[in-house]
Structure 1
Amino acid sequence: MTATVVLLTSAAAGVPPAAFPHLRGARAVYASGLGEDVTDLLGAKPAPDPAVLAAEAAEGAVVLFAASTDDPAVRVLPGAVVIGQPSGAKLVDAALVMNRLRSPGGCPWDAEQTHESLRQYLVEETYELLEAIEDGDRVAMREELGDVLLQVLFHARVAAEHVGDPFDIDTVAGELVAKLVGRHPHVFADAERIATAERQEVKWEELKQAEKQRKSIVDGVALGQPATALAGKLGQRSGRAGIPLDLFPAGQDAASRLFVLAATARRAGVDPEGELRAVAKQFAADVRAAEANARAAGVEPSTLEADGWRRYWPSGG
């Protein structure tokens, strides 16, 4: 039997991530005891007669959404893989550990930190996560995601101690939930369904504009982000607003040309920050390779001049 049972106690919580590999390989997807609306939302069909379901599971991969393992349709699939919804209990544990570290008798270093002193770590950990993603290193991704989560927990814990305007991790999470639900009315309410990611992105910006009552299309753009990413974001925002390219900086200085390149690249759907970083990382790898080639030939890299670098530069670099 190759059946998978996905326990779905709340449609609003969504499908557990672990279920997606099973859904991609399923020959049929059914739902039992979840109601017609939820069944349609899942793209499933009502579960057939238990005997029919068991016979079908015996012949190929079947996924069944159900609210409980006591459901009759689940009971005819005794060998099925059961996937429950993620509980988030470890997130609670992480918040409790952060509280303990920050409290009297905890870690002296943690107790001394402020929002300002922690800024450098937020930036560093974010870039380390980005590098792990670019390298496809899933072990590093797990660790770096945890380090970024630590920054969120740390800042929220520091914020809870503020005398004039305290807030904690529950406030942060609550506002996030409200934002996500409010900006996805087609998922959590009865708004018109959105069929494409492109349309969703446009709708998201419209909802943000109304929600925050922004007076400018560049309101909300993080001006502290890396310059290439900032230029790309401004290019994207201005493109949506119909600002023509001839209004971009027209100077011939390096900074103006870089802005135009990054902004037009983002308008064309290219991430200039990511692409530039990829080229830079390849260049760094080529430098290392040339140094290794020189050492292998008995030449100290620090003595190389232009022709020497060309001689030992890796082919295809």
Structure 2
Amino acid sequence: MSTEAPAAGRIVLLTASHRVAPGLLSWPAWQTLHAADRVVCADEAHPQLPYLREAGITVEHTALTAEELVDACAGSTSRAGGAGAEGPGEGRTIVVLPSGEGDRALTDGLARLAGSGRVQMPDLELLPGSYDLPGARLLDLVQVMDRIRRECPWSSQQTHEGLAKYGIEEAYELVEAIEDGDRDELREELGDVLLQVVFHAAIAQEDEAEPFSIDDVAGTIVEKLIHRHPHVFGDATAETPEEVREHWLRTKAIEKQRDSVTDGIPLGQPGLALAAKLASRVRTAGLEVPLPAGEGIGYALLALAVRAEANGEDPEAALRAAARAYRDAVRAAEGQE
């Protein structure tokens, strides 16, 4: 390394999100690339390279060490044989395109030189060329799930039918996290529910007769949301939550072309939730339907559920809250023994 004090120059580590299509770089990134004295990249298969070539940017395929990079920025001859005038010169800007895994040896070497105090260091800059868009990590989830589906002995054998019970379990665990008010648990349980969706979609795309992918799932729900929110995406108006609900139910009825307000209500859900859902459909439709007469706890619970729904209460949630209180009382009693 030169013993004289050359102008230090500038090293720019240009990163880009692998979740954004190659070539979609920020304007500051393109400006820096065009103005740089050299652009270097050790990875000949770097996804950005074809787009940089199209933009007229020359990229050198070379793996410079930290010392070589500092020398090259100062304008002295690179130990790797790169261009540059002998001895001190004007500081130069060199852009480095790290590999997808990062260039740990290079960054550690630069940190070591900077900490030594014996080397006049160039300016070091980390320039993000692109940022993750909201929801970009969902792409990671899909990729991870696809690999697990291919390579995991257990996951590769799963079917929609075999996973059904886990969907129910995860939904209940999500409800419990919400009721507990535990934010960390809520985030984790939302992830577990999301996993069920991605897992089922991975299985569905392998079906020979009627395959569909996670993109088809997302596309379907996007179309449904837009169609059922004409007050957001169309010319309709809705000033209150009640008007929104009327829009939703009216649109849904047209889509499904159902013969009864009870169509589409899953009978396998918990009893109180089922009773409340039936009562909600009847009330929304403006029907006058007397409760069936009968003896026993079932009819009494039905009446209670219908009354709770009419009062804007969720009987299932109310019973769970009461059961939690009962559980706490049991634990308290156990502690006194």
Q: TM-score under structure 2 normalisation?
A: 0.60
Aligned equivalents of 2:168 and 2:219: distance in 1? 24
Structure-2 change in CA distance of 1:252 and 1:179 (3 Å): same
Q: Partner residue of 2:326?
A: 283
Give SS of 2:154's match: helix
Residue 100 in 1 paired to residue 147 in 2?
yes
Q: Partner residue of 2:183?
A: 138
Q: Tell me how far 1:249 sits from its aligned partner.
A: 1.7
Give SS of 1:222's match: coil
Q: Which amino acid aligns with 2:196?
A: Q
Residue 273 in 1 paired to residue 322 in 2?
no
Aligned equivalents of 1:86 and 1:287: distance in 2? 49
Q: Partner residue of 1:120?
A: 165
Aligned equivalents of 1:160 and 1:283: distance in 2? 46
Q: Which amino acid aligns with 2:142?
A: A
Q: Tell me how far 1:241 sits from its aligned partner.
A: 2.1
Q: Tell me how far 1:264 sits from its aligned partner.
A: 2.2
Q: Which has the higher mean CA deviation after the structures are superposed, 260-269 or 168-177? A: 260-269
Residue 248 in 1 paired to residue 294 in 2?
no
Q: Tell me how far 1:244 sits from its aligned partner.
A: 2.8
Deviating 4+ runs (over 6 angstroms) = none
Q: Tell me how far 1:114 sits from its aligned partner.
A: 0.6
Task: Tell me, yes or no, if the aligned pair for 1:249 and 1:260 is still in contact at 8 Å.
Answer: no
> Which structure's relative contact order is higher, taking Cα pairs within 8 Å and 6+ residues apart?
2
Aligned equivalents of 1:175 and 1:107: distance in 2? 29
Q: Tell me how far 1:239 sits from its aligned partner.
A: 1.2
Q: Partner residue of 2:229?
A: 184
Aligned with residue 172 of structure 1, among 217, 223, 232: 217
Q: Which amino acid aligns with 2:250?
A: E
Aligned equivalents of 2:276 and 2:132: distance in 1? 38
* Percentage of pairs with the same residue: 51
Aligned equivalents of 2:307 and 2:247: distance in 1? 22
Q: Tell me how far 1:87 sits from its aligned partner.
A: 2.1
Q: Which amino acid aligns with 1:102?
A: R
How does 1:71-90 map onto structure 2 within 5 Å?
87-90=134-137
Aligned with residue 264 of structure 1, among 307, 320, 325: 307
CA RMSD of aligned residues (A): 1.4
Q: Tell me how far 1:225 sits from its aligned partner.
A: 1.0
Aligned equivalents of 1:85 and 1:208: distance in 2? 35
Note the residue ranges of structure 1 that are not aligned, 5 or more in a row: 1-83, 295-317
Give SS of 1:108's match: coil
Aligned equivalents of 1:137 and 1:109: distance in 2? 31
Aligned equivalents of 2:287 and 2:239: distance in 1? 27
Task: Count the aligned residue pairs.
Answer: 207
Aligned equivalents of 1:275 and 1:265: distance in 2? 9
Q: Partner residue of 1:110?
A: 155
Structure (1/2) with the larger helix percentage? 1
Aligned with residue 194 of structure 1, among 226, 238, 263: 238
Q: Which amino acid aligns with 1:121?
A: Y
Aligned equivalents of 1:271 and 1:86: distance in 2? 37
Give SS of 1:162's match: coil
Q: Tell me how far 1:86 sits from its aligned partner.
A: 5.1
Aligned with residue 211 of structure 1, among 242, 248, 255: 255
Q: Tell me how far 1:267 sits from its aligned partner.
A: 2.0
